[in-house]
């Protein structure tokens, strides 16, 4: 199972909106609405910020939103803040009854 494809880096200014893409295949993203997004700050464990494409766990800011079209899922961060600077990973359920993560995207607030 190959990793899902994400851009290596995305940057934006405070207050702007940015979008991180995550591309898979019909055997993972395209086949199921089971896409999750994780935020990871340096030296910390990942934190779930979206699940089932667009659902936010309790306590996660509504500045984080998700969508999916075909084999590509997207994470949008609106009103970018300094604390959003982190690595972001997508993940999907697969037809092999396993999970696959994306390659990861470093979000920089400039």
Contact yes or no for 80/55 (Cβ under 8 A): no
SS3 37: strand
Among 24, 29, 36, 75, binds other proteins (CB under 8 A): 36
Segment lying near other proteins (by CB under 8 A), choices 11-19, 20-28, 48-56, 71-79: 48-56
Q: Is 95 in the site for other proteins (CB under 8 A)?
A: no
> Binding of other proteins at residue 88 (CB under 8 A)?
no
| CA pair distance 7, 4, nearest whole angstrom | 10
DSSP string, 65-91: EEEEETTEEEEEE-S--GGG-EEEEEE
From candidates 57, 70, 81, 95, binder to other proteins by CB under 8 A: 57
The answer to the question of residue 21 lying near other proteins (CB under 8 A) is no
The Cα–Cα gap between 25 and 7 comes to 16
Residues near other proteins (CB under 8 A), total: 25
Q: Given the rule CB under 8 A, which residues bind other proteins? A: 1, 3, 34, 36, 38, 40, 45-48, 51-52, 57, 89, 91, 93, 96-104
């Amino acid at each position: 199972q190959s990793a899902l494809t994400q851009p290596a880096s995305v940057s934006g200014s405070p207050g702007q909106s940015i979008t991180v893409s995550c591309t898979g295949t019909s055997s993972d993203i395209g086949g199921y609405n089971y896409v999750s997004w994780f935020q990871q700050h340096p030296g910390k464990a990942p934190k779930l910020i979206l699940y089932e494409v667009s659902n936010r766990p309790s306590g996660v800011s509504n500045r984080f939103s998700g969508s999916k079209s075909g084999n590509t899922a997207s994470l949008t961060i609106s009103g970018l803040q300094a604390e959003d600077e982190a690595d972001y990973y997508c993940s999907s359920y697969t037809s092999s009854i396993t999970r696959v993560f994306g390659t990861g995207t470093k979000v920089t607030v400039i």
